């Protein structure tokens, strides 16, 4: 319909009809190829990102896990200001961070 003519209006064995069909097929193939190339580029970028993340993870033969608890934390909360609680937790984390540096160990958060 691009030229204002229907394909059915052309004789069945007309060369013009065949050329129009071939051109439409070629245009469709070009569009599909462009989409495939775009998808391929996205997949390659994702694969690169995954490889980068994989390198970051690392492996360790041994690991120690530390769990900590603030004794009576639930009973401290109602009697403290939010600002004081945040300050207490920041101080606690700061102390842990100094111990990590002092003993040259790694952390995961």
Q: Give per-residue pLDDT as tens, 36-76.
A: 999 999 999 999 998 888 777 777 778 888 888 999 999 99
Same domain, 46 and 4: yes
Same domain, 54 and 66: no
Same domain, 66 and 53: no
Same domain, 68 and 102: yes
Same domain, 31 and 81: no
What is the per-residue burial (b if ≥16 Cβ within 10 Å, else e) of 19-46?
Answer: ebeeeeeeeeeeeeeeeeeeeeeeeeee
Total structural domains within the chain: 2
Q: What is the DSSP letter of 4?
A: S
Same domain, 67 and 55: no
Q: Cα(99)–Cα(107) distance, rounded to whole angstroms?
A: 11
User: What pLDDT is stored for residue 68 in this prediction?
Assistant: 86
Please, which pLDDT band fits residue 109 given cuts at 50, 70 and 90? low
Same domain, 76 and 45: no
Contact (Cβ atoms closer than 8 angstroms) between residue 77 and residue 85: yes
Same domain, 54 and 2: yes
Contacts of 11 (CB under 8 A, 6+ apart): 17
């Amino acid at each position: 319909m691009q030229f204002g003519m229907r394909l059915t209006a052309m004789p069945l064995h007309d060369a013009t009809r065949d050329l129009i069909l071939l051109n439409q097929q070629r245009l469709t193939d070009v569009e599909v190829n462009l989409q495939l190339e775009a998808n391929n580029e996205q997949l390659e970028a994702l694969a690169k990102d995954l490889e980068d993340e994989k390198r970051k993870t690392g492996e360790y033969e041994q690991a120690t896990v530390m769990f900590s608890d603030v004794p009576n934390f639930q009973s401290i909360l109602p009697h403290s200001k939010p600002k004081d609680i945040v300050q207490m937790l920041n101080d606690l984390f700061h102390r842990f961070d100094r111990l990590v540096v002092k003993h040259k160990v790694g952390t995961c958060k």
